[in-house]
Structure 1
């Protein structure tokens, strides 16, 4: 791209070589003719993040942040959005006149994927099952609460709901726990935030409602296959990945994300070609 690059952004994490963020953002730049923009990737652990970001030259407008650096990004930032603070991690750092602002657009990712999964059907007053209680469970819960669900059951090997309770404190949404191998009897949506190996053999008992599986490689996942075999709709983590990138793109560039071009580039790079 040469010396005419004047605007930069990048993704930080470790390992980083498989990140699809450069595919998404660079496709967006290309679609809008932003040939003076470039998006890169940097190997970055949590310990490395403060030095790397504070040492970045002024051409860098923002950073996408993946594991294991999302907690460091939150702690490093000069300013934190309410949702990033509540979730306890950040996947976005934006340069501002005051320093760096942390946000969590994983919420947008979950919201967008749920919108496609449910075809716009409201979740208000509904029951959601969330599998897992780790890093991705928190933005999933935040998005579900925002969508108005009345009850979230968290399925996990151990009861870690005490760590999640603060997300529910200011809301009317109920939180309950069930063991991973229990079969939920009713749900309007199932969101799995765990690796496929973590629920191996349990897929049929978990696929009781439309499924959002945050995993997308390899695709389709066993849980998605189980849902589709049961005649239920399912979407994968690549849909979430696309939607979380749009907000980052808009924060970094100040321009509306060309969603179709970004989504198409992502699906081509993953070898996924399915109508949504």
Structure 2
């Protein structure tokens, strides 16, 4: 007999400030899943295997954040083509027959967030940064960008990595040095994947009539670049847009209920961020 209580959680390190519990618990309430729980666990690469091995039949799914998106893969029975394309899993669904299946909802989450704002196709795009999120950005751009993507990076090694990801994902990637990053701001779509503060100096360079900026940060928000983008009349998406859209997809996969309650989850996320000191 299937357990009455169904469990899910987000794992990572550090995990203290994760908004995932707020989003998923809101979804459960909206969907009437009163016997579902969602927690957070401080788990690193050294403790991941033991945690996964101890999961019982009450577990329905896991959300993975850094540094576990790649470390989880050897512990799974299979991963989706989307996750394989970037070698990163942020979602694990535990099936009734005991399998552990991995997926990546960041990529379709980026696409869904762009579609929500009316961005279906663009002729060109720019990516600021070359970290872990940049590969997911390129994978998303393979679905929305019909032309060249320029990645602005700080080192030759990062440039090589981005070109390799582009080849793997079928994206025409050109690289440019970070010193020329202001050029990116004229692209129809700019995805900023950099840490807090990295793009602050670009805020004064935002052109009038700016296109669309997707800045993946959500705390602190807005970034200096995001605020300047809005002032210049551009379309702006933030990290909360990505977080909510990928969480909706996770909820749908883990619970089997669709559509997920996007509006309620976004409102809960916005309230949680406002309440932070």
- For normalisation by structure 1, the TM-score amounts to 0.90
**2:265 maps to 1:262:** yes
Question: In the aligned structure 2, how far is the partner of 1:172 from the partner of 1:33?
Answer: 41
In the TM superposition, what is the alpha-carbon distance from 1:258 to its structure 2 partner? 1.5
Write 1 or 2 for the structure with the bigger share of helix.
Answer: 2
Aligned partner of 1:142 in structure 2 is 139
Q: Are the aligned partners of 1:74 and 1:90 in contact in 2 as well (CA < 8 Å)?
A: yes
How do 1:126-205 residues align onto structure 2 when only pairs under 5 Å count? 126-159=123-156, 160-169=158-167, 173-182=171-180, 183-184=182-183, 186-205=186-205
Aligned partner of 1:250 in structure 2 is 252
Moved more, 180-189 or 51-60: 180-189
Moved more, 60-69 or 97-106: 97-106
Q: Are the aligned partners of 1:10 and 1:41 in contact in 2 as well (CA < 8 Å)?
A: yes
Question: In the aligned structure 2, how far is the partner of 1:172 from the partner of 1:206?
Answer: 29
In the TM superposition, what is the alpha-carbon distance from 1:45 to its structure 2 partner? 0.5
Uncovered stretches (5+) of structure 2, i.e. residues with no partner: none
Aligned partner of 2:108 in structure 1 is 108
Distance 1:67 1:121, change over 3 A: closer
Q: Are the aligned partners of 2:93 and 2:253 in contact in 1 as well (CA < 8 Å)?
A: yes
Distance 1:13 1:5, change over 3 A: farther
Q: Are the aligned partners of 1:47 and 1:72 in contact in 2 as well (CA < 8 Å)?
A: no
Q: Are the aligned partners of 2:218 and 2:240 in contact in 1 as well (CA < 8 Å)?
A: yes
Question: In the aligned structure 2, how far is the partner of 1:80 from the partner of 1:191?
Answer: 26
Uncovered stretches (5+) of structure 1, i.e. residues with no partner: none
Q: Are the aligned partners of 1:90 and 1:103 in contact in 2 as well (CA < 8 Å)?
A: yes
Q: Are the aligned partners of 2:85 and 2:169 in contact in 1 as well (CA < 8 Å)?
A: no
Question: In the aligned structure 1, how far is the partner of 2:109 from the partner of 2:202?
Answer: 25
**2:120 maps to 1:122:** yes
In the TM superposition, what is the alpha-carbon distance from 1:260 to its structure 2 partner? 1.6
Aligned to 2:32, what secondary structure does the other structure show? coil
Q: Deviations over 1:10-62 (max 9, x none)?
A: 00001111100000010011111111100011000022111101211211111
The alignment yields a C-alpha RMSD, in angstroms, of 2.0
Q: Are the aligned partners of 1:105 and 1:247 in contact in 2 as well (CA < 8 Å)?
A: yes
Q: Deviations over 1:169-204 (max 9, x none)?
A: 366631011111203264111000111222231233
- For normalisation by structure 2, the TM-score amounts to 0.89
Question: In the aligned structure 1, how far is the partner of 2:162 from the partner of 2:88?
Answer: 13
Question: In the aligned structure 1, how far is the partner of 2:232 from the partner of 2:71?
Answer: 41
Question: In the aligned structure 1, how far is the partner of 2:225 from the partner of 2:145?
Answer: 25
Q: Deviations over 1:95-125 (max 9, x none)?
A: 1335211111011221122223xx324325x
Distance 1:202 1:94, change over 3 A: same
